[in-house]
Amino acid sequence: MSGDTISAETLKFVRSSFSSVWALELLFLMRRENDRAWSVADLTRELRASETLVQAILPDFVKKGLVLETARNVFRYHPAVSELERLVERVAAAYAQNRIKLINEIFRTPEPSAQSFARGFKLRR
């Protein structure tokens, strides 16, 4: 991957997996200590984020197979398949090499609720 080129596959994964930079940072934190089971309180404290934010991100990560809920409100980084780990590695490399471009991609991706709201205003012929 060159300095400002991020593969289409990696961008697609970023757009479908990360609704915010907070989500990306949360996953990277869990990945750095992938043998650790994290409580919501621990993650909130480490990220200096709100508990509500962390609680909103984690179920989505579980559904996408990026983290595992090992006990009630306790989570561990554990991609369900090796392909997910490979994609996360590529996102981490892209983030290290071209953070601004990756962040812009996350901001460019509209949230599904906003998309459905906007569809209600489309003019039909």
> What confidence category does residue 3 fall into, taking pLDDT thresholds of 50, 70 and 90?
low
Q: At what angle do helices 51-63 and 21-32 cross, to 10 degrees?
A: 70
| H or E element, residue 69 | strand 67-71
Which structure tokens are listed for 12?
């697609």
- The number of folded domains in the chain is 1
Give the structural domain span for 83: 20-109
Tell me, yes or no, whether 87 lies in a domain. Answer: yes
Tell me, yes or no, whether 7 lies in a domain. Answer: no
DSSP state of 49: -
Terminal alpha carbon distance of the chain: 44
What are the residues whose beta carbons fall under 8 Å from the beta carbon of 11, sequence distance 6 or more? 105
Q: What is the mean pLDDT of residues 6-19?
A: 91
Which structure tokens are listed for 11?
């961008």
Tell me, yes or no, whether 95 lies in a domain. Answer: yes
Tell me, yes or no, whether 72 lies in a domain. Answer: yes
Residue with tokens 């996350």: 106
Tell me, yes or no, whether 6 lies in a domain. Answer: no
Tell me, yes or no, whether 84 lies in a domain. Answer: yes
- Model confidence pLDDT, tens digit, residues 32-89: 999 999 999 999 999 999 999 999 999 999 999 999 999 999 999 999 999 999 999 9
Tell me, yes or no, whether 5 lies in a domain. Answer: no
Tell me, yes or no, whether 122 lies in a domain. Answer: no
- Model confidence pLDDT, tens digit, residues 104-114: 888 886 555 44
- Domain with residue 52: its CATH number is 1.10.10.10
